C-alpha cells in the first residue's frame, strides 16, 4: 500500500531519479545574489550544482530563477526554484512544482540532443 502522507515518508527518499548531465547553470536569487556553476546531476525536479566558492548558509530556502546555459552561451527560459541544500561548494536546487514538467521536458531534449 502506498502511503502518500508526507509525515510518514522517508525524507531521504528521492522523488525523481538523478541523471549525470553536466551543464552550466545560472541562478538569480530573490536576494539579488547570482550563482553560477556546473551541474553534478539533474532530475525533473531540480539540480545539484558545484560552484567555485562555498555559498553563504543564509541562502538556504531562498527562491530564485534557474537558467541553463548551452555550450554556445544561449540561456534557457527561467525556471522558478529555491535553494534546498548546501554542502561545501554544492548547492541543491528544487524547481517549483508548476515548472517541473517544462524543466523535465527541456532536460530530456538536452539528453536526446534535441
Write down the pLDDT at residue 81. 97
Q: Where are the domains of the chain?
A: 14-111
- Please check the confidence at residue 100 and state whether its pLDDT lies above 50: yes
The residues, ordered by sequence, that sit 6+ positions from 71 with a Cβ below 8 Å of its Cβ are none
Write down the pLDDT at residue 41. 84
Number of C-beta neighbours around residue 11 at 10 A: 5
Cell numbers found for residue 103: 524543466
Percent of the chain at pLDDT > 70 equals 77
For residue 5, give the 3-state DSSP assignment: coil
Q: Residue 114 — pLDDT band, cuts 50, 70, 90?
A: low
Q: Residue 4 — pLDDT band, cuts 50, 70, 90?
A: very low
Question: What is the average pLDDT value for the chain, to the nearest integer?
Answer: 82
- The string of pLDDT tens digits covering residues 7-51 is 443 444 445 566 666 789 999 999 999 999 998 888 888 899 999
- The string of pLDDT tens digits covering residues 59-70 is 999 999 999 998
Burial 54-79 (b: 16+ CB within 10 A, else e): ebeeebeebebbbbbeeeeeeebeeb
Is the domain 14-111 a CATH 3.90.580.10 member? Answer: no
The CA–CA distances, whole Å, from 29 to 33, 83, 97 equal 5, 9, 18
d(CA 56, CA 46): 20
Amino acid at each position: 500500500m502506498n502511503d502518500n502522507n508526507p509525515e510518514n515518508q522517508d525524507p531521504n527518499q528521492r522523488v525523481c531519479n538523478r541523471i549525470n548531465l553536466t551543464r552550466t547553470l545560472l541562478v538569480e536569487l530573490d536576494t539579488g545574489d547570482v550563482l553560477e556553476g556546473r551541474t553534478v546531476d539533474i532530475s525533473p525536479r531540480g539540480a545539484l550544482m558545484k560552484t567555485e566558492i562555498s555559498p553563504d548558509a543564509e541562502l538556504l530556502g531562498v527562491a530564485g530563477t534557474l537558467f541553463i546555459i548551452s555550450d554556445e552561451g544561449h540561456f534557457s527560459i527561467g525556471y522558478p526554484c529555491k535553494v534546498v541544500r548546501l554542502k561545501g561548494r554544492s548547492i541543491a536546487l528544487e524547481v517549483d512544482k508548476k515548472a517541473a514538467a517544462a524543466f523535465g521536458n527541456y532536460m530530456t531534449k538536452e539528453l536526446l540532443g534535441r
